Structure 1
Amino acid sequence: MRTVGIIVEYNPFHNGHLYHLQQSLKITKSDAVIAVMSGHFLQRGEPALLNKWTRAEMALRGGCDVVVELPVAYSSQAAEWFAYGAAALLDATGVVDALCFGSEAGDIAPLRRVARLLAHEPDAFAGFMADELRTGASYPAAYSGAVRRFMAAAGDAEAAAFPFEQPNNTLGLHYLLALERLGSAIEPFSLRREKAGYSQTSITDAQIASATAIRKLVAESPSPDCAAPFVPASTLELLLRDHEAGRGRNSWQHYVPQLFHKLVSEPAAALGRYHEISEGLEHRIKRALPELTELSFEPLLERLKTKRYTRTKLQRALLAILLGHDKELLAPDRLRTGVQYIRVLGYSERGRELLKRMRKSAKLPILQSAAGHAADFPYLALDVQATSVYALAWPDASPRDLFRDYYEKPISI
């Protein structure tokens, strides 16, 4: 059974995701799909609209065969570690033959050449990166500029002209770089991203809209019914189910009381120990708090933003504070060791067969829940904590909701 791996957030699962899933099977000539999916907090430093079990069910109903969780230690990171954690998980299953990701360009050849060079000449690239950062550029802008200079110096004009500043091209490069560093035999493929862009908030197509635009539409409407043209019927059913239960619209604003409690009560030195807090950001936060005119997330972001501190960078930093992620726990040396377990969120009938194969071939233990394991795996303990914080947004949250990781078994369809 040839198997393709995909790396997803499904926030929520929509028609564009369905297209990517179907095309991934087609272009890789695969029979089954394993999805590595972010849990409750995502790569741009945001809470997911819906909980991870609902989104896993969306994925399974949409055609995925096995859904495994990307731990929050990786899911809330910048592109490099997000990609590394996800690629390491796919490789660790022992059953994934191909990886298919979406990109703005759809051309994988220049990305592969860059990844091979970066994997073997990191010191040379580091010099270009330091130069770019000294200009005051944001990290993403500095990275794309450094890659261009690095490839130009290597004599690869085509790669030097590649649009690395586009987010899915950047993420794709990091997937390939992770596979190189892991020495993985997984074969990569890229599918050109059509129509709605990654961060596009407007809707310009009758059936395809970005997840960002769909979330905005749902947030501004009394019912998720408004998303019907842009999502499969199974997704709409689950959106409505969670909405009726009062659990379908999580956003940063739901966590303002918890976040501001930490920002106000902890001194700047304590804030400085959290992951992503650097270059005096802790002092900038402390100075900004008395200047706010309302206790709201967006005004805080606007007060903190600069050319260097992008919205996404700030969201990840504030998320690290909210979740208590300190620098030591998420240090590069610890992240580089990779995920220490495979947490299954759900599977289909075909997925059941895949799991049987995984139990024989996987390089890591396969977990059905966190029960009895959180003490053994520090990053699993972070996932349990992330679920507890996430559930605090629900008005009727119970202790069982807060510790659902201990009780919930994988979804089977």
Structure 2
Amino acid sequence: MKTVGVIVEYNPLHNGHVYHLEQSRQITGADAVVAVMSGPFLQRGEPALLSKWARAEMALAAGIDLVLELPVAYSAQAAEWFAYGAVYTLDRIGVVDSLCFGSESGDIRWLTGLAKSLADESSGFQSLLNSHMSSGISYPAAYSRAIQEWLGESAHSPGQLTAPNNTLGLHYLIALQRLQSKITPYTVARHKSGFHDTSFSDRRIASATALRQKLIGDGDPAALRPYVPESTFSILQRELELGRAPIDWNRFMQPLLHTVVSQTEQQLEQIYEFSEGLEYRLKHTLRQFPAGHALTQGGAGSPSAFESWLDLLKTKRYTRTKLQRMLVRLLLGHRKNELSREALIAGPDYARVLAFSSKGRELLKRMRTESRLEPIVKLPRNRSLFLEMDIRAASVYALGYDVPTREDLLQDHYRPPIQSAAAGR
């Protein structure tokens, strides 16, 4: 059974994602699809709109055969580590033949050439990258400039790396090179809507960013219906009715503030992603809120408390995405010594199963003998640090529900993977 891997967030799953799945099957000739999907917290340092279980259910309904969770150690990271963790998982489970990712360019040749040049990047390249990052520009822009300076005239189309999907795609290819993977990469051009596009210019395709903003702003999924599969729409409605969506940063202001005020600067400095005195700035900005300003919500027609806080925190050095990733680690209590470069390079030793179809069940059977990672269908008694992080992250995420229950907080302990008997896709 030929199997293609995809790396996704599905926040939420929409018609553009369905197009990508259809194209992935077509250009790779795959019989089955494995998705590595971010859990509760995402690559840009945001809580997911819906739980990982709801999004895995959307993926299964859209035709994914096996959904595996990308550990939170990798999911809320810059492109390099996000890509490495996802590709590592696809490579080590031993049943994936190809990887197909979306990109703005739709051309894998120049990306592959760059990946081969950068797979063994030196400390000199890293210094260039860090220098540009410290100037306050975005990671894609900094990476593009560092490539141009490092490779000079041999750098092909470096400007295209300011496009987020091209940047991720390059890092997927670099990870394949570093892991000496036998997986064959393909790319599909992003269709109609850009990654950050907030408009609804097409009748059926809109970006996840636009859909999230609409849902969080209105609280009504009706406007999303033309842009998502009916199964996604149904799951959205259910989660809204149950008070489990939409989840955003404002739901976590109370625990974030508790951590900031209850820990010293020295304790905060030990949190992963904290650097260059950010722990002092974090405490200082609380004094900058106007007198009487609510710290856990925003007034009607005014920015939310979280947005107000982020505006105070942002500088050229500390971009929004950098700050959000830092706040994820603060919220989850992740320490620098837990997420060292050595620990991340070693990769996860498990593959957490969130959902599977009948074809996915066949892949799981193959994984028993071919996978170098332990397929986790039921939580084992003895668990690695990264798996413990995933479990704790799911519990923290559930605190964002309107009325979290014991079952919500402990869901990862007892909930089995979502199953579908659908076959013949």
Shift of 1:353: 1.2
Return the match for 1:220 from 217, 220, 227: 217
Extract unaligned runs of 5+ from structure 2. 296-304, 421-425
The answer (yes or no) to whether the contact 1:370–1:380 under 8 Å persists in 2 is no
In the alignment, does 2:366 pair up with 1:366? no
Shift of 1:394: 1.6
Q: What pairs with 1:196-235 in structure 2 (closer than 5 Å)?
A: 196-235=193-232
Shift of 1:364: 1.1
Amino acid at match of 1:85: G
Shift of 1:369: 3.0
Q: What pairs with 1:158-169 in structure 2 (closer than 5 Å)?
A: 158-159=156-157, 161-169=158-166
The answer (yes or no) to whether the contact 2:245–2:401 under 8 Å persists in 1 is no
In the alignment, does 2:336 pair up with 1:327? yes
Amino acid at match of 1:352: R
Q: Distance in 1 between matches of 2:104 and 2:334?
A: 32
Q: What pairs with 1:2-401 in structure 2 (closer than 5 Å)?
A: 2-133=2-133, 135=135, 137-152=137-152, 155-159=153-157, 161-293=158-290, 294=293, 295=295, 296-373=305-382, 376-401=383-408
1:285-330 alpha-carbon deviations (Å, 9 max, x no partner): 1111111133111001000111221111100001110110111111
- Cα RMSD over matched residues? 1.4
Shift of 1:51: 0.7
Q: Distance in 1 between matches of 2:391 and 2:92?
A: 22
Q: Distance in 2 between matches of 1:41 and 1:312?
A: 13
Counterpart in the other structure of 2:298: none
SS, match of residue 68 in structure 1 = strand
Q: Distance in 1 between matches of 2:71 and 2:328?
A: 14
Percent identity of equivalent pairs: 51
The answer (yes or no) to whether the contact 2:147–2:155 under 8 Å persists in 1 is no
Stretch deviating more after TM superposition (88-97 or 398-407): 398-407
Q: Distance in 1 between matches of 2:276 and 2:338?
A: 19
Q: Distance in 1 between matches of 2:102 and 2:219?
A: 32
Q: Distance in 2 between matches of 1:185 and 1:179?
A: 8
Shift of 1:270: 1.3
Amino acid at match of 2:160: P
The answer (yes or no) to whether the contact 2:114–2:155 under 8 Å persists in 1 is no
SS, match of residue 161 in structure 2 = coil
Check 1:167–1:264 CA distance in 2 against 1; reply closer, same or farther (3 A cut): same
Q: Distance in 1 between matches of 2:16 and 2:132?
A: 35
SS, match of residue 109 in structure 1 = helix
The answer (yes or no) to whether the contact 2:34–2:66 under 8 Å persists in 1 is yes
Extract unaligned runs of 5+ from structure 1. none
Q: Distance in 2 between matches of 1:68 and 1:131?
A: 36
Shift of 1:282: 1.0
SS, match of residue 366 in structure 1 = strand
